[in-house]
Amino acid sequence: DAGVIQSPRHEVTEMGQEVTLRCKPISGHDYLFWYRQTMMRGLELLIYFNNNVPIDDSGMPEDRFSAKMPNASFSTLKIQPSEPRDSAVYFCASSLRGRSEAFFGQGTRLTVV
Amino acid sequence: GDSVTQMEGPVTLSEEAFLTINCTYTATGYPSLFWYVQYPGEGLQLLLKATKADDKGSNKGFEATYRKETTSFHLEKGSVQVSDSAVYFCALPDNYGQNFVFGPGTRLSVLP
């Protein structure tokens, strides 16, 4: 398996624009996580899904953030409108049955100018 | 709730020095314990794990022993290399077994 695949790897956008980050989890994994990493706040869980259903979105910072998982092999994280403080590295991870280890993608480095 | 306490660093060592990164946890029951490593510009990857008390996880010269009595899972390596420079995260599944609790990460720099 190719692992968790995220796209794009880098994204630079202007403030106010919509940004969509994409993730393909490992085939067969039933949990999918979105994290944000910054120097100031470290690694933060934004939202996670189980069998395509959002379980906990309490980490989503504002209504500008939304995430979907239309099927078992694809998820998106959307920011609309984007702001400079959204600049961070966003990671997607997947796992099997929760208690096993999480596998992370390479991340998307988002810069909002 | 479940939590992980980890020395935050940064830790700077010379090549071939001994490394210890402390990790203690609070959890209900006896969850699996993990150490993840994040190399510059990359995502987190599993370094080692232990699934029950007294288990020792090991990989790439790193070791950590699941100590139930002290609720600890300290990471050790006898002789670090420059290539070990990275951020190390201690982690465990949450009480419901659905999410993960990560420590704040410890940045390690190894100087030649």
The per-residue pLDDT for range B7-47, each reduced to its tens digit, is 888 999 999 999 999 999 998 888 899 999 999 989 999 99
* Residues linked to residue B106 through DSSP beta bridges, in sequence order: B88
Name the closest residue on chain A to residue B89, using Cα atoms: A43
A41 touches chain B (CB under 8 A): no
Sequence-distant (6+) residues with CB within 8 A of A67 are A34, A46, A47, A49, A54, A57, A60, A75, A76, A77, A78
Q: Tell me, what's the pLDDT at A55?
A: 92
Candidates B45, B94, B100: best to mutate against A (most CBs of A within 10 A) is: B100
> CB distance B100–A106 less than 8 Å?
no
Å between B84 CA and nearest CA of chain A: 18
Radius of gyration for the alpha carbons in chain B, expressed in angstroms and rounded: 13
> CB distance B99–A56 less than 8 Å?
yes
Name the closest residue on chain A to residue B49, using Cα atoms: A101
Q: Are B100 and B2 in contact (CB under 8 A)?
A: no
* DSSP assigned state of A102: P
pLDDT score of A20 more than 80: yes
Sequence-distant (6+) residues with CB within 8 A of B102 are A43, B4, B36, B89, B90, B91
pLDDT score of A11 more than 90: yes
> CB distance B104–A42 less than 8 Å?
yes
**CB-CB neighbours of A108 under 10 Å:** 21
Of residues B32, B36, B89, nearest to A99 (C-beta): B32
Of residues A42, A102, A105, nearest to B100 (C-beta): A102
Å between B85 CA and nearest CA of chain A: 17
Q: Tell me, what's the pLDDT at B29?
A: 82
Q: What is the pLDDT of residues B50-66, one digit of tens each?
A: 999 999 999 999 999 99
Q: Which residues of B touch A55 (CB under 8 A)?
A: 98
Q: Which residues of B touch A97 (CB under 8 A)?
A: 97
Alpha carbons A50 and A18: distance in angstroms, whole number: 26
